[in-house]
Structure 1
């Protein structure tokens, strides 16, 4: 349990366990699992609180630990935490090809298997990590070559742990908000447009 604090409803307390929000009464006798909706506005208080708790500081991301892909003028930015053996990451990469005027910082976090570490090292150590990654994720061309260069993989895994990233892909936007999973390209585009 990370914290207990008063909830926006009198008599209830918010209990933060990992990245999950629960509610309890003042005695701790009852645990409520669910969302609080403000009826007058339809606002999902729990969802908003969850988004705030999962927010990061964009400036804290060390872009030296990622490889960069620029399309168009690169004016819009996202960070993607991905495993090279993640099927949802592959689906996301195919979708991201549709984005224009974007800079994508890809942080490799090999969490699925030993082969993920093997591929991540080959991608990072290649002469063009972005191209090698896209070739593998989109076109199915396996990475090949050396694996003995210095990589940021351990740093990326530590960052992922500190941000509570337990699955791939996870996307972060410049306002610090996150989208977990292979979200629809229309939702990514909509979010990017709100950040202009």
Structure 2
């Protein structure tokens, strides 16, 4: 608790210092961008906007990173900007906006489709066959979800799981992809099929995931554009499937 209080106090102190310096210096959004680039010339600034805190500016830089600075960029703050009145993180809100995905633009031909019940609801999952959290998602969170069509994109993280690409190829090459996936991920049965079919789709999925900013698995995408990382609970999935 003491550590958290110290962190909050430090963050508050930094924001006050940033704001004080910024009010003294003045400036507009173009000036803020130029000032930031004078310190970080190799960074690509995607947007600059004022925050509700007077004198503090929000910058979105390459890699969808959100940082805060004062008008002459003499100070930089990386972390959560909290709206204490509404009890929400403005940083998380911005990150959710940046990670929003146009579900209808997803190349679903690169995914295999699991239709449960009428399959009226939709979701997509970027997943890795050797990821323990992906197995938890399959065995627990998704197990009882019904009336849904799940599009699974095989996204092996080979730096963490060297054998995941081979297994992904075996699943992709299976005649019954959903059956092979379910047997391996949920039931723990070994993969025995070939891995030498046309697996170019997996390369395209890798490029797609990088473009969308998928840095870990599992990553769930819902029709409203929300990209949610992690093996979230089934109840949370139900809510997101119903969200507008």
Alignment-derived partner of residue 219 in structure 2? 170
Q: How does 1:97-108 map to 2 (within 5 A)?
A: 97-108=143-154
Distance 2:188 2:72 in 1: 56
Q: How does 1:39-54 map to 2 (within 5 A)?
A: 39-54=84-99
Distance 1:24 1:161 in 2: 27
Give the alignment's TM-score, normalised by structure 2: 0.76
Name whichever structure is richer in helix by fraction. Answer: 2
SS at structure 1 position matched to 2:186: helix
Alignment-derived partner of residue 31 in structure 2? none
1:131 aligns with 2:176: no
1:8 aligns with 2:51: yes
SS at structure 2 position matched to 1:50: helix
Question: What runs of 5+ residues in structure 2 fail to find an aligned partner?
Answer: 1-42
Deviation for aligned residue 1:37 = 2.8
Alignment-derived partner of residue 15 in structure 2? none
Q: Larger radius of gyration, structure 1 or 2?
A: 2
Structure 1 stretch displaced more, 118-127 or 12-21: 12-21
Distance 2:186 2:116 in 1: 16
Distance 1:146 1:34 in 2: 47
Name whichever structure is richer in strand by fraction. Answer: 1
Question: What runs of 5+ residues in structure 1 fail to find an aligned partner?
Answer: none
Large movers: runs of 4+ above 4 Å: none
1:156 aligns with 2:200: no
Structure 1 stretch displaced more, 92-101 or 106-115: 106-115
Structure 1 stretch displaced more, 138-147 or 72-81: 138-147
Instruction: State the number of aligned residues.
Output: 195
Q: Which has the higher contact order (CA 8 A, sep 6+)?
A: 1
Residue pair 1:7, 1:23 contacting (<8 A) in 2 also:
no
Give the alignment's TM-score, normalised by structure 1: 0.93
